[in-house]
Structure 1
Amino acid sequence: MDLGGPGAGPMTLFGLDNLPYGVFSPSGGAPRVGVRFGDDVVDLSVLLDDPVFAMPSLNGFMEQGRSRWTQVREQIRELLAGEVADAAVHPVTDVQLHLPVEVADYVDFYASEHHASNLGRLFRPDSEPLMPNWKHLPVGYHGRAGTVVVSGTEVVRPCGQRKAPDEAAPTYGPSRRLDIEAELGFLVGVGSTLGDRIGVDDFADHVFGAVLLNDWSARDLQAWEYVPLGPHLGKSFATSISPWVVPLAALEAAHVPLPGQDPQPLPYLCGREDWGLDIDLVVEWNGEEVSRPPYREMYWSPAQMLAHMTVNGASARTGDLFASGTISGPEKHQRGAFIELTWGGREPVTVKGEERTFLEDGDEVTISATAPGANGGRIGFGEVTGTIRPARGGTFTA
């Protein structure tokens, strides 16, 4: 089969300069690894005749390391430029997409100065927007790897304790301020030994690629619980990621300097390369665009996040997922969370003719992204989508 048709031409977001990896099931088949090429998914277990790609996750391939990643990418590009066996090619509309990795650990950072400043003004209006440590280290929290789900998985409205400012005591029930966070996630391919550290300049030797990520957030649960130890139930119920993993090699044309760090970080957070990335996200609420967050505005880079995550000797493992935190820019239409976009619910936005603040049951959110590719084109990350379903179960009584 010749794959050089319109769907794989120079204007596609999934051409030879991208080739994102994913896990898919063809009709009646078991999950295996493929690459997205134009409007098709190419079965790598058939194309390369390698059993590591017949596995139901990318972990086995990711742990083989950077030289192997480079070798396979070059081999795929060479083979796709010629004739490909029909048995290896499946229209993307005919396959089922799965979670691309077995997630080992999950850490979420807070790397946007614009987002952190906006939340600081909302949560602490009489104090400085940023906490004293914020410009000295990438702030983060540990999430639940078991609740990371693939795009398209429905999100059940979480329940928990919430206490509004005008309430004398907390109550239990479904979240009333359910939100999104438009983020980028990074997947560790090669781990590290307990007690060792991963330096900023070793980032590309350990990180396999990037995904889109939506860190669903129950703001009322979060506001009541987060002092003094940070997010817990307000975050741990669901985190959605895109099914396609864009390899770091596909992001070379997207490298940009960081917007500037003052004061200069401590030496372990400094390296030869900034690892700023020029990636444009789009957030759609019930099919209507409401925001365009720019990743190039992020204060802390993913290389700095990984260096900080391991500086105490914590080990990294194949399948570790760490995320950027909400991506927000300086303008209102660039805010990547609805709590910012609606300023805590006080400034509703219009969605399909209705004034809206936080998510209602039945709402659907889709986040997509593109980045500069080779030769002046662009590459795509696909989408991460989730639909809100009503809370389950009844209330608890003493």
Structure 2
Amino acid sequence: MSGDLHGRHKAVLPDWLALYYADPIEITHGEGRHVWDADGKRYLDFFGGILTTMTAHALPEVTKAVSEQAGRIIHSSTLYLNRPMVELAERVAQLSGIPDARVFFTTSGTEANDTALLLATSYRRSNQLLAMRNSYHGRSFSAVGITGNKGWSPTSLSPLQTLYVHGGVRTRGPYAELSDADFIAACVDDLEDLLGHIRPPAALIAEPIQGVGGFTSPPDGLYAAFRRVLQERGILWIADEVQTGWGRTGEHFWGWQAHAENGPPDILTFAKGIGNGMSIGGVVARAEIMNCLDSNSISTFGGTQITMAAGLANLTYLLEHDLQGNARRVGGLLIERLRAVAAQLPGVREVRGRGLMIGVELVKPGTDTADPETAAAVLEVAREEGLLVGKGGGHNTSALRITPPLSLTVAEAEEGAAILERALRRCAQ
């Protein structure tokens, strides 16, 4: 069944539309933290549709909200007043920490970042951008132009002039051997030197934890230190929270809060988990920035009633059940369990991350050389044993990405860690 669908997929869809596994699977349904394929096999889901199923598969509260809204009206566009959109915008604005916030809804994180770039370049009257090395911000023409990961940036043509800054990867690069304080100081010195050589940029865009890059991050406080330099020059800070938002890191509701010394970002983008699988993205910015555009705009599908109903129900469930706290507790246990395993395997370079956003970087034993072949093999073995994980990384996709729904139980975390340990040991042989 899946083989036939795979053949049809290849016949009508682009070659660059990647599929996991040598024998790709079709996921037909899910419940809680589990999904089933077309052959009836059950899997513990440790990837959540690329961090998108944030609370649980088939969460009754979200399913009920979507069903009830679909029975009333699904869509009307932004040309008409939309109560669910206003209600979700009010909640997101309050949670963002940005003063006098305005919210614009899109259908994806790519579109959210694209909108943030439009706002920043219009507000600052500059098409110069700063971005982080090893970063990923989406698949649109503008987003790939600020993506610092060559595996996900298929063209160097861009309407933007982008320069890439040090700091997103703590344990690789020219400053890796420094202490955290010296690492931050060196990155700030590099930023200040760079700004002395270029025309004033519109903004720095940065993921607090780099998602596709393999869940790498700087020491806490780096972006606060950057912010001081940027604020002196009127340069905006865009926090790309598409993967880090909504409490996934456990310690904070937003990733930027680990760098909060100088307040919230000027612009915040979000997507993925808020819709629990429904297509929601968005941008939050101060009113003066959001309202800087001097022409009309709409969104046909951004903020449509059915997705907003899902977002409201999902956000309510997340907050009422303290899933951020669960991510901190269960994620902490899972990280420590995986670090104990890694200590016995020379091919595991690092287990990193926060909450339920965990990266396991693989290298060829005894070296610092990325090992994408073993990463791919671990993915296959884990799937055979009933566990789905992701992969990423700026060094040839050699990091496993572990991002279960935030309602993960301790027993499920232990089950997944045991499967992953067996897969790592088997592939190490």
State the TM-score, normalized to the length of structure 2. 0.23
**Which structure: greater strand fraction?**
1
**Which structure: greater helix fraction?**
2
